[in-house]
Structure formats: structure tokens, C-alpha cells
Structure 1
Amino acid sequence: MASRKHLSGWTVLAAVLMIFGGIMTILEGVAAIAHDQVFTETRDYFFRYSLTGWGWIHLVLGVVILLAGVALFGGAVWARMVGVTLASLAALTNFLWIPHAPFWGIVLLAVNIAIVWALCTGDRRRVT
């Protein structure tokens, strides 16, 4: 029987949250690209950008987060470092997205913060 690398519970949590967050970010990006009426246009928001451009950013970021989450299940060390970086970047983009979709912006912001926390906390092995 082939040996499988043991993953801690925090790493599994981070991988699941990355896959979930990646899928939600992809859907958010597709909706923004399609100019769906789900999002509100804000006139006096400090950061002005087009919804289509922001939709492409969400789409690409979501795909990369999803792939890194899948790689994290495989025990890839690079996926942990990439996951922290991408989740931090996604947290920033979702913070800036709050005026357009307040509920999902806050939910995905919390998910990305939880990913960073789980990836930085996980894989503490007891040495005896």
C-alpha cells in the first residue's frame, strides 16, 4: 500500500476553505463580467474601477486559489506559501469589493482571513 503524507486538521480546513473561496470568487467574477444586476454601482466610492475589470481579477484569482487548494490536499509545500499569499491578496480584493456586494464581500473576507490563519497555524508536530 502506498504511503500518503499525513495532513493536519488545519491544513485540511485551509484546503477546503480555499476550494470553497475559489469557487465563490470565480462565480463573483463571472457575475461581474456578465454585468449582472447583482452588484451595485457606487458613484462616490474612493476606489473607482470598472466592474468588468474587477470581474476578471476575481475570476483569475479564484481559479488560482482553487488550484492551490487542490494542491494543498496533495501535501505540496509550495501550496501553503502560495495559499497564504493568495488568501491575503483575496482578502484585500474582497475588502475593496464590499461596496458592490456587501454580504459576499464580508463573507469572503472572513473566509480568506481564516485560510491565512489555518495555513500559518497548521502542521505543528509534537517532537518527543
Structure 2
Amino acid sequence: MTTSATTRRTITSGWLTFAAVVFLLTGVFNVINGLVGIFSSDFYVVDAGQVLVFNFTAWGWLWLILGFVQIAVAAGIMNGMTWARAAGIALAALSIIGHMLFLAAFPWWSVLTIALSVLVIYALTVPPHGATAA
């Protein structure tokens, strides 16, 4: 009598590892951005008409919370969770929109975060369904 062990083949993807690491960095950047907005709102020197944000302290809390959620989702991406890939795409899109609103206050930081978020969206959509980070 022969027994056959069923082996489940796992597809690994370097793109998911890349997405998790870059998303983790973006989350850390957003946490830093949030802390600056909360504790030093006068750091962003702009006229009221140049930015679509009216309260930098509230904006800082938003970025702080978003950054921590991004860090948690990055861990989910690294562990191959499908929900984390979908959440990562949605949060990266929110990050892009938020940093476009914040562009006049801190342009280089916003452009860097927008570019990283675009890379994350690409890296999360490229691997096949069911793939895990390498």
C-alpha cells in the first residue's frame, strides 16, 4: 500500500517582501510626520491659503494613527495575509491623497511618500493570488 503525502506548494514573491518593507518605511515616515504635527505644529511654515489643512494638531493625529495601521498591515503583508494586501492598497491610496493635500506644507516629504506609496501599490498588485513574501 502506498501513501502519498499531499504537499502544498507555496508561491513566494520578492515583490511582497519589497511591498512590506517599503510600506513599513512609509508607516514610520507617517508616524514621524504625525508626531511633528502634534508636538510642533509651527514646524510647517506656510500661509493658510497654501495648504488644505486647517489644524496641524488634528492632522498630526491622523498621520500618527495611519502610520501605526500601516506598520501593522506591513506585518500582515510579510506573513502572506490576503486582507493585508487589500488593506495595503487602500491605505497607500489614502496616503497618496493625504500627502497631495499636504504638498505645500512639506513638499519633499510628501513627494517621497507619494512615490513610495505608488511603488507599494504596484508591488502589492503584481504577485499572484496566494503568494507569500519571500
The TM-score range, normalised by the shorter chain, is 0.7 to 0.9
Q: Distance in 2 between matches of 1:52 and 1:7?
A: 41
Match of 1:117 in 2: 122
Structure 2 portions without partners, runs of 5+: 1-7
Contact preservation (8 Å) 1:87, 1:116: yes
Gap change, CA 1:46 and 1:24, over 3 Å in 2: closer
Deviation at 1:95, TM superposition (A): 1.0
Structure 1 portions without partners, runs of 5+: none
Q: Which moved more, 1:59-68 or 1:37-46?
A: 37-46
Pairing 1:26–2:36 present: no
Residue 53 of structure 1 aligns to which amino acid in structure 2?
A: A
- How many residue pairs align between the two structures? 123
- Aligned pairs (5 A) from 1:66-105: 66-105=71-110
Contact preservation (8 Å) 2:48, 2:54: no
Q: Distance in 1 between matches of 2:128 and 2:89?
A: 14
Q: Distance in 2 between matches of 1:40 and 1:47?
A: 13
Contact preservation (8 Å) 1:18, 1:66: yes
DSSP-derived class of the 2:86 partner = helix
Pairing 1:45–2:55 present: no
Superposition RMSD on alpha carbons, in Å? Answer: 2.1
Once the two structures are superposed, residues 80-128 of structure 1 have per-residue CA deviations (whole angstroms, 9 ceiling, x without a partner) of: 0000000000111111111111110110011111111111112379xxx
Q: Distance in 2 between matches of 1:50 and 1:27?
A: 17
TM-score (ref. length: structure 1): 0.87
Deviation at 1:39, TM superposition (A): 1.6
Pairing 1:15–2:15 present: no
DSSP-derived class of the 1:103 partner = helix
